[in-house]
């Protein structure tokens, strides 16, 4: 197979939203602010910082507006928020000047979507299409996320055509980026190769983003497979924080520092400071009071000297 490996990639850090939401113990707002500021000092240009879900659904993220008001990041860092529905978008737009991108989402499988947001895929997409128009009308970038793109813990394999059909609907609605989520770590490198070859071909002009979880230990292998067929946009979470709150056992995203370490050793440019990311992940470990599962926290960067 001929590689289409890009020489550089973009990485969005999702730990402050996707990572923190899965933590059972309350993380004080000031600690979230400190960790986001630390991440923003590593060269990251895109960070997902908050979600406008109902506070009773995910209490950990109920301080999203306060976090947005208190963080102090460089001016070239683009901040993203996750929007679950039109009511959430109403609330987000009250602080519209605090962020640059809004992400809307759906699950590719009916069962997961129902358990996650208590709506059918059709109902969710109808609302998403309305929100996309509003987001773009506000001058914000609209990103879309398709969860369970590589498999559903309740339904099994999700048809590639179904996932790409949803992606094309998002693109038609105005999404300029579409992220494909391996929500419960069911992807494998062979299928990732097939999937991203098709996605990149079917979505010209759209930023195609890979979002892998390391639930079954294949996260970095899947990222490598996506990279080799031309994917140049990835999401990850420092310290390997995160997971899906719906099914039990769905552990974290691939660790940003592990992903960056792999890319750098391969000669793929990220623009990020690996030592800085490791420091931020170790700081998160201290805040949470437990060992995190990132390998780079323990081993540090590769040193050939």
182 forms beta bridges with: 212
Q: Provide the strand spans (E) within the chain.
A: 10-13, 46-51, 78-82, 101-107, 141-147, 177-182, 207-212, 233-236
Nearest-angstrom CA–CA distance, 291 and 299: 13
- What confidence score (pLDDT) does residue 70 get? 98
- Are residues 253 and 22 in contact, defined by beta-carbon separation less than 8 angstroms? no
- What is the domain class of 10-299 according to CATH? alpha beta
Q: pTM for the full model?
A: 0.96
Residue 280: strand, helix, or coil: helix
What is the full per-residue pLDDT of the chain (305 aa) written as tens digits? 568 999 999 999 999 999 999 898 999 999 999 999 999 999 999 999 999 998 888 999 999 999 999 999 999 999 999 999 999 999 999 999 999 999 999 999 999 999 999 999 999 999 999 999 999 999 999 999 999 999 999 999 999 999 999 999 999 999 999 999 999 999 999 999 999 999 999 999 999 999 999 999 999 999 999 999 999 999 999 999 997 766 766 778 999 999 999 999 999 999 999 999 999 999 999 999 999 999 999 999 998 76
- What confidence score (pLDDT) does residue 181 get? 97
96 forms beta bridges with: none
State the Cα angle at 236 between 56 and 271, rounded to 5°: 135
142 classed as catalytic: no
Answer positive or negative: Cα dihedral of 180, 183, 189, 194.
Answer: negative
- What confidence score (pLDDT) does residue 305 get? 60
- What confidence score (pLDDT) does residue 35 get? 98
281: nearest Cα among 261, 266, 267: 261
- What confidence score (pLDDT) does residue 252 get? 84
Instruction: Report in angstroms the alpha-carbon separations of 240 from 28, 47, 85, 134, 298.
Output: 20, 15, 27, 33, 13
18: nearest Cα among 208, 255, 217, 226: 255
- What confidence score (pLDDT) does residue 266 get? 97
- Are residues 70 and 49 in contact, defined by beta-carbon separation less than 8 angstroms? no
Which run of H or of E encompasses 168? helix 160-173
- Residues whose CB falls within 8 Å of the CB of residue 137, separated by 6 or more in sequence, listed in order: none
Instruction: Say if strands 233-236 and 207-212 run parallel, antiparallel, or are unpaired.
Output: parallel
Domain positions in the chain:
10-299
Which run of H or of E encompasses 278? helix 274-288
Nearest-angstrom CA–CA distance, 55 and 63: 9
- What confidence score (pLDDT) does residue 1 get? 53
Which candidate in 142, 152, 231, 244 is catalytic? 244
- What confidence score (pLDDT) does residue 131 get? 98
- What confidence score (pLDDT) does residue 304 get? 74
């Amino acid at each position: 197979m001929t590689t289409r490996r890009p020489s550089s990639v973009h990485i969005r850090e999702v730990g402050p939203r996707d990572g923190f939401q899965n933590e059972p113990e309350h993380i004080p707002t000031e600690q979230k602010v400190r960790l986001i500021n630390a991440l923003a000092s590593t060269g990251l240009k895109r960070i997902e910082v908050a979600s406008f879900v109902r506070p009773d659904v995910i209490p950990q993220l109920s301080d999203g507006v306060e976090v947005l008001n208190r963080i102090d990041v460089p001016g070239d860092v683009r901040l993203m928020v996750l929007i679950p529905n039109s009511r959430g978008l109403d609330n987000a737009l009250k602080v519209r000047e605090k962020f640059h991108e809004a992400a809307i989402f759906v699950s590719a499988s009916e069962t997961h979507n129902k358990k996650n947001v208590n709506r059918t895929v059709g109902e969710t997409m109808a609302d998403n299409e309305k929100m996309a128009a509003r987001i773009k009308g506000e001058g914000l970038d609209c990103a879309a996320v398709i969860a369970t793109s590589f498999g559903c813990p309740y339904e099994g394999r999700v048809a590639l055509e179904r996932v790409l059909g949803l992606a094309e609907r998002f693109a038609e609605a105005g999404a300029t980026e579409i992220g494909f989520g391996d929500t419960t770590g069911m992807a494998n490198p062979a299928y990732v190769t097939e999937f991203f070859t098709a996605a990149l071909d079917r979505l010209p002009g759209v930023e195609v983003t890979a979002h892998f979880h390391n639930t079954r230990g294949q996260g970095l292998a899947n990222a490598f497979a996506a990279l080799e067929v031309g994917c140049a946009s990835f999401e990850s979470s420092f310290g390997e924080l995160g997971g899906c709150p719906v099914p039990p056992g769905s552990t974290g995203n691939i660790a940003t520092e592990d992903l960056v370490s792999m890319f750098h050793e391969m000669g793929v440019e990220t623009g990020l400071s690996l030592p800085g990311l490791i420091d931020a992940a170790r700081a998160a470990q201290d805040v949470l009071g437990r060992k995190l599962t990132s390998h780079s926290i323990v081993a540090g960067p590769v040193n050939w000297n």
